[in-house]
Amino acid sequence: MASNLHTVLCDRLGSRFPIVQTAMGWVADEKLTAATCNAGGFGFLAGATIEPGRVDAALRKVRELTDRPFGVNFHMFQPNAAEVIEAVIDHKVRAVSYGRGPDAATIKRLKDAGVVCMPTVGALKHAVKAVELGADIITIQGSEGGGHTGSVPTSILLPQVLDAVNVPVVAAGGFSDGRGLVAALAWGAAGIAMGTRFLMTSDSPVPASSLKRYLTTRDPNQIRVTTAVDGLPQRFIENNEIKRLESMNLAARLSMSLEHARSQARKNNLGLMGTAQTALKLLRADDSSFAQTVMAGNLPELVQRGIVAGDPDNGLLPSGQVAATIDRLESCEELIARIVKEAKERLDALAKLRTMPAN
């Protein structure tokens, strides 16, 4: 029965099933978030990429589309971090996800308001630190995952973190079906989180031209890690833009990033001082080098070109390796129903193993 899939994660987040849709920038919009929640999962709205002044309206829109609990992500270095935090508290959002930015005081303020704090980490030490700062739930992303990623695969990172922390742990990186959900639960996880699998749904806002590239990428080795974008390891589908960036020298990439940063500042109505303050926050929040901080301007401009403007050749396509195993676009309703069905079948098969007589 589906009730076999009810875990502490469902209790804490208010979802029917222990399946989380991650807050992919420019992808996890109001429609995708609500569709996930209506289907029984738990969706995170990508608050980190909502323009200043639009956060309240975005949360209201999610509320119009679903009566289920949902979450919001943010980064402390984004220009409107304070706006996101205030809106989350005012709207009584169920949970927030974040990286390593918030300090203990900020996390306590959210927890005191009844918000579940659920950071995503890619390393054991960051998981331990997050719990020390007050995290209620930890999402670990193995190296198979998309975007910024660590070097340790889920199969190793998950048990490491489970042994080291005393809060529920959610597994991310490489999941797309019911077999993966049951495997994560068998390890001891409270559920799974998926980004790429939800990006590749009919509820996703990603243009058809870019979704076609995701669907036609069949070799996991073509979904690879590079440091050419902002100096940090990130996983993307290999394309012309990745190859061009990797062929450029550091000075050329820094110059390009400064131009991209100016473009983003104009879009967010930030002046020179606002841009400098954002860069300083980034430098402090993510332990970045100066070069990485300067190069960070490449990421939003090029990702938006790939998954918002729909240019899969000249933009960036963040992706987990699991994209190579996905060959069709289901709705969130179809996807979660299938995962639950597959998980039930695997649980039933495992139950039969217990009852088989010994030879």
Do 192 and 246 belong to one domain?
A: no
Q: How far apart are CA 330 and CA 160, in angstroms?
A: 33
Asked if the structure places residue 46 within a domain, the reply is yes
Do 272 and 180 belong to one domain?
A: no
Asked if the structure places residue 344 within a domain, the reply is no
Per-residue three-class SS string for 233-272: CEEEECCHHHHHHHHCCHHHHHHHHHHHHHHHHHHCCCCH
Query: In this predicted model, what pLDDT tens digit does every residue of 309-342 receive, in sequence order?
Result: 999 999 999 999 999 999 999 999 999 999 999 9
Asked if the structure places residue 345 within a domain, the reply is no
Asked if the structure places residue 346 within a domain, the reply is no
Q: Report yes or no: 103 and 132 within 8 Å, Cβ to Cβ.
A: no
Residue 163 CB neighbours (<10 A): 10
Do 188 and 228 belong to one domain?
A: no
Do 199 and 287 belong to one domain?
A: no
Residue-range definition of the domain harbouring residue 169: 2-205+327-338
Asked if the structure places residue 356 within a domain, the reply is no
Is the pLDDT at 278 greater than 60? The verdict is no
Asked if the structure places residue 350 within a domain, the reply is no
In percent, the amount of the chain with pLDDT more than 90 equals 79
* DSSP one-letter code for 312: T
For residue 291, what pLDDT band results from cuts at 50, 70 and 90? very low
Asked if the structure places residue 189 within a domain, the reply is yes
Q: Report yes or no: 127 and 164 within 8 Å, Cβ to Cβ.
A: yes
For residue 354, what pLDDT band results from cuts at 50, 70 and 90? confident
Closest C-alpha to 299, from 281, 316, 311: 316
For residue 77, what pLDDT band results from cuts at 50, 70 and 90? confident
Do 184 and 270 belong to one domain?
A: no
Is the pLDDT at 204 greater than 50? The verdict is yes
Which residues, other chains included, contact 93 with Cβ-Cβ below 8 Å and sequence gap of 6+? 59, 70, 71, 72, 87, 115
Do 83 and 175 belong to one domain?
A: yes
pLDDT of 356: 62
pLDDT of 298: 75
Mean pLDDT of the chain: 90
Asked if the structure places residue 349 within a domain, the reply is no
Do 215 and 308 belong to one domain?
A: yes
Do 174 and 161 belong to one domain?
A: yes
Q: Report yes or no: 220 and 143 within 8 Å, Cβ to Cβ.
A: no
User: CATH no. for residue 67?
Assistant: 3.20.20.70
Residue range 107-114: mean pLDDT, rounded: 98
Q: Out of 60-69, 103-112, 218-227, 242-251, pick the least confident.
A: 242-251
Helix axes 332-355, 30-38, angle to 10 degrees: 40
Do 135 and 237 belong to one domain?
A: no
Do 80 and 13 belong to one domain?
A: yes
pLDDT of 251: 77
Query: In this predicted model, what pLDDT tens digit does every residue of 158-167 receive, in sequence order?
Result: 999 999 999 9
pTM for the whole structure:
0.89
pLDDT of 100: 73
Do 158 and 303 belong to one domain?
A: no
Q: How many domains does the chain have?
A: 2
Do 269 and 331 belong to one domain?
A: no
* Coil vs helix vs strand at 92: coil
